Chains A and B, each alone.
Chain A
Amino acid sequence: MTHFLSQVPTYLPILMQGVYLTLLVTLGAFVLATALGLVWAFMRVSGIAPLAWTARTIIVIVRGIPGIVTLFYIYFVLPDLGLSLTAVQAAIIGLGIAYSPYMAEVFRSGIEAIDRGQTEAALSIGMGWGLLMRRVVLPQAIRVALPPYGSTMVMLLKDSSLASTITVAELSLQGKLLASSTFENTTIFTMVALIYLAMSLPLTAFNGWLERRLRQAR
């Protein structure tokens, strides 16, 4: 234990460089996955058959491919087609796409949980689809979707380590490199695990806070 504590100051700055990339990839992929997820979800609940069908197909395909393969595809295959991305760009886009089906299903379940009577009431005062979604359905759907949305966020944080496979030196890769050059496996991987935990705990806490707040507003 004393050994561990004495080593922390030495390795922490190096691992923190990885933390920066982990956060960058997580945040970028999170924003992209949310945006794409919303698009897929809206297409599915639009009531327009070709849109719903397209979204369903995309969800099935993307969800059926491992995230790591999606990353390989974007980083190694796209350059053959003339589109070269940096490793970080590829990681953000790949994870964003890979996570979009989960986001879509989270949003869709939230939207579909809203009572049909709400839609009818909104229609009966002359609302169109856009207003109905924005003013009536989404504000209520967010409450339903928030807990699974939070879990997905934590999963994405952890899965940002997949970016290491396409040379992004985020936390897990940084740890592995450091461990293999120092042989301090126990110290370094314990630190890596603790840092991941330290990043996910505030996320969980923030989510709990948001849930409580939304419940009060009711």
Chain B
Amino acid sequence: MSIIELRNIRKSFGTVEVIHDVSFSVEKGEVVCIIGPSGSGKSTLLRCINGLETYQGGSIAVHGQRVDTGSSAIRQLRTRVAMVFQRFNLFPHRTALENVAEGPIFVKKEPREEVLKRSRDLLTRVGLGAKIDAYPAQLSGGQQQRVAIARALGMKPDAILFDEPTSALDPELVGEVLAVMRSLADEGMTMVVVTHEMGFAREVADRVLFLDGGVLVEEGPPDEVLSRPQNPRTQDFLRRILPS
């Protein structure tokens, strides 16, 4: 069974439909990258998966369970599908360690000492073993995003959604975040990544989805979609963003 399954998703803001009949699924251990122009609905689609946005038509299921923003099950479901945001969204009044431990201790009610130990290990794993007690404001953008990834991992999720995780970073900080994401992919983490990093998509993704104007235009393995796109809209988009 797929971990995440979207069927005929429609999403409107007011009277404007921004996602038209999109279907795809994500298997365990798969890395799916969603690419496309700004305003194509990539982030909105991703946010529907963990119920940060409602959708008007179709169905989204995680492990076969329907994602319904209005239901009480949504909270449980969110603990299984973690999210990494473009602007990190770390809690500024808590240290790196506290940011990572917050969910496991207060939401999942896991034993404090165990969580703190695991959180330290996770921060070490993303290369921030020396910054455990730093507040977000004391960290660079790249470091903050790595704490955010550790925070997602702290929930022991089945899958992680990344919403343009490197778009708010200075160019020289992008690499450190992508490196962490790459190692997660290597370890078999299921990931859905909305990104403009074509290099990352090409190397790490199992599948690339090209979304344009709220329509899933093309999907397939990265060397097909990125190197030999069939659809003229994909060709046009890639021509504009990739150096020839």
| CB <8 Å contact, B93 and A217 | yes
Interface residue ranges of A97-151 to B (CB < 8 Å)? 115, 117-118, 120-128, 131, 135-136, 139-140
| CB <8 Å contact, B106 and A127 | yes
Interface residue ranges of B104-137 to A (CB < 8 Å)? 106-108, 135, 137
- A125 in complex: contacting residue of B51, B87, B107, CB < 8 Å: B107
Roughly how many angstroms separate A136 CA and B78 CA in the complex, as a whole number?
A: 17
- B102 in complex: contacting residue of A115, A117, A123, A125, CB < 8 Å: A125
Residues of B within 8 A of A115 (CB): 89
Residues of A within 8 A of B106 (CB): 127, 131, 135
| CB <8 Å contact, B155 and A126 | yes
Residues of A within 8 A of B87 (CB): 117
Residues of B within 8 A of A128 (CB): 75
A-B contact count (CB 8 A): 59
Interface residue ranges of B41-83 to A (CB < 8 Å)? 50-52, 75-76, 78-79, 82-83
| CB <8 Å contact, A124 and B135 | no
Residues of A within 8 A of B108 (CB): 126
Roughly how many angstroms separate A115 CA and B136 CA in the complex, as a whole number?
A: 15
B134 to chain A, nearest CB (A): 12
Interface size on B, residues (CB 8 A): 25
| CB <8 Å contact, A125 and B93 | no
B10 close to A (CB within 8 Å):
no
Instruction: Give 1 or 0 for each of B121-161: 1 = CB within 8 Å of chain A CB.
Output: 00000000000000101000000000000010001000000
| CB <8 Å contact, B103 and A126 | yes
A3 close to B (CB within 8 Å):
no
Roughly how many angstroms separate A115 CA and B86 CA in the complex, as a whole number?
A: 14
B1 to chain A, nearest CB (A): 22
Closest B residue to A131 using CB positions? B106
Residue from A122, A124, A126 with most neighbouring chain B CB atoms (10 Å): A124
B199 close to A (CB within 8 Å):
no
- B79 in complex: contacting residue of A118, A120, A126, A140, CB < 8 Å: A126
Interface residues on A, range: 10 to 19
Residues of B within 8 A of A120 (CB): 52, 83, 85, 89
B90 close to A (CB within 8 Å):
yes
Closest A residue to B52 using CB positions? A120
Roughly how many angstroms separate A139 CA and B87 CA in the complex, as a whole number?
A: 20
B200 close to A (CB within 8 Å):
no
B188 close to A (CB within 8 Å):
no
Roughly how many angstroms separate A136 CA and B99 CA in the complex, as a whole number?
A: 10
Closest A residue to B148 using CB positions? A121
Roughly how many angstroms separate A196 CA and B137 CA in the complex, as a whole number?
A: 41
| CB <8 Å contact, A123 and B93 | no
Given contacts A120-B85, A131-B106, A135-B106, contact A126 B92 (CB under 8 A): no
Roughly how many angstroms separate A117 CA and B93 CA in the complex, as a whole number?
A: 14
Roughly how many angstroms separate A64 CA and B90 CA in the complex, as a whole number?
A: 41
Given contacts A131-B106, A135-B102, contact A121 B91 (CB under 8 A): yes
Question: Which 3 A-B pairs rank lowest in CB-CB distance, beginning with the nearest?
Answer: A125-B103, A121-B89, A126-B79
Q: Could you name 17 residue pairs across A and B whose Cβ atoms are closer than 8 Å?
A: A118-B89, A118-B91, A120-B83, A121-B83, A121-B91, A123-B52, A123-B78, A124-B78, A124-B82, A124-B85, A125-B107, A126-B79, A126-B155, A127-B103, A127-B106, A131-B106, A135-B102
